[in-house]
Amino acid sequence: MNKPAIKAVLLAVALLFSACAKEKQYFETSGEVFHTSFHIKYRYTRALDAEIKVELDNFDLSLNPFNKQSIIYKVNNNIPTALNPWFEAVFRRAMEISDISGGTYDITCAPLINLWGFGFDKIDSVNQAVIDSLKEFVGYRKVRLENGAVVKDDPRLQLNASSLAKGYSCDVIAEMLDKHGVIDYMVEIGGEVRAKGLNPHGECWKIQIAKPIDDKSGQINERQEVVALCGRSVATSGNYRNFYIKDGKKIAHTINPLTGYPAESNILGASVFCADCMSADAFATAFMTMDKDRAVAIAETIPGLDYLFIYADVDGNLKEAKSDGIEFEW
């Protein structure tokens, strides 16, 4: 076969493959995982629901403290178990952010979270003696990884990774989509978001930052700001959804492990933007344990991190503090 004929055959084959190639379109999948909801949108040649479910199920077996088959459940209950890269990544990042926060962020404060009624169990009586007894085995410096195992200074120590696991699950799904060659997606799990590429309108994905209004029902969703999310992640933490009233006082879910009491902060909502959603998730929680000025001072030292803090001034008025990298959409 001469060269012109070969070229003609190759061209015909190329055109055939081109004609058979499926056109990419936007797909959407949603459901329940980790006792919360998820919504995932992506542009691809086919639906990836099955692959997403497998990844989320595997993640659940790693870091869901309520799943008796999970790694973290076994660690908390001193049942011998092999760790995996997901668990180790979450553990190491948590330790780093604990250092940065000066210990006000701490995934070992599960007993204190339980004490105040926001965790696995609830103790009816809260007093200083009970808090002091629990603080004996709370503290991120009392646990470490050694030779692929979790080593505790006290067997009663427990881990609660809910402050960064949802964010990390967004990263895990994003990495799976990346491996399939997906370049346009938005992954939202429990309110934490990681996005890449463009939405169906050909624009950066847009997310709404809610006004921090006390609302246990989660039905009130007034807009504070809208921010374009271009190849980044965002996580928001606040004390306006997860709280209860006792003796006329608001008890919020963010616990300061250094004091053992709910954190007292003038920040009502902290939104953090990072490349990875695990860091955004953890830092959003960390900033809720401190006042606005300290949170801003720490945030400004972290490369690649942007923030939007909604806080109350001395007169109770809503104010905003944000980094220069945040631009609002109108």
Boundaries of every domain in the chain: 25-322
Confidence of residue 317 (pLDDT cuts 50, 70, 90): confident
Judged against a pLDDT cut of 60, whether residue 12 lies above it is answered with no
Q: What is the pLDDT of residue 155?
A: 97
pLDDT in tens, 48-71: 999 999 999 999 999 999 999 999
> Structure tokens of 295?
């949170």
DSSP character at residue 46: S
The per-residue b/e assignment along 42-65, b for 16 or more CB within 10 angstroms, e otherwise, is: bbbeeebeeebeebbeebbbbbbb
pLDDT given at position 99? 97
102-153 pLDDT, tens digit per residue, is: 999 999 998 888 887 754 455 556 788 888 889 999 999 999 999 999 999 9
> Greater confidence, 291 or 22?
291
Q: What is the pLDDT of residues 27-56, one digit of tens each?
A: 999 999 888 899 999 999 999 999 999 999
Between residues 19 and 301, the one the model is more confident about: 301
**Topology, domain 25-322:** T-fold (3.10.520)
Residue ranges in the chain assigned as alpha helix (H): 3-20, 49-63, 71-76, 85-101, 110-115, 128-135, 162-179, 277-287, 292-299
pLDDT of amino acid 186: 98
Confidence of residue 2 (pLDDT cuts 50, 70, 90): low
> pTM of the entire structure?
0.85
Q: Which of 38, 80, 76 has the alpha carbon at shortest distance from 59?
A: 38
Mean pLDDT for 236-257 is 58
Convert the pLDDT of each residue in 202-234 to its tens digit: 999 999 998 876 544 455 557 678 999 989 999
